[in-house]
Amino acid sequence: MASTIKLKRGSGAPSGGSLAAGEPALDLTNNKLYSSTDGTDVVEIGGSFEDGSVSTPSINFSSDTDTGIYRIGSGNFGFVSNGTEVAEILSSGLQVGSKTRISYAAGSFQWGDTVAGTAATFSVNFTQVGSITATVSATAYNTSSDYRLKENVVPIENAVARIDNLNPVRFNFKVEPNVTVDGFLAHEVTPIVPEAITGEKDAVDADGNPVYQGIDQAKLVPLLVAAVQELSARVAALEAN
Nearest residue to 170 via CA among 179, 159, 160, 157:
179
Going by pLDDT thresholds of 50, 70 and 90, the confidence category of residue 110 is low
Q: 175: Cβ–Cβ under 8 A, 6 or more apart, which residues?
A: none
pLDDT at 3: 57
Distance CA 78, CA 96 (A): 10
Helix residue ranges, H only, the chain? 159-164, 186-189, 221-240
In the chain, where the domains are located:
1-48, 50-112, 117-149, 159-240
Cα separations in angstroms, 79 against 16, 86, 88: 23, 6, 6
Which tens digits make up the pLDDT trace of 132-182? 888 878 889 999 999 999 999 999 999 999 999 999 999 999 999 999 999
Stated pTM of the model: 0.60
Average pLDDT, the chain: 86
Q: Report whether pLDDT(56) > 80.
A: yes
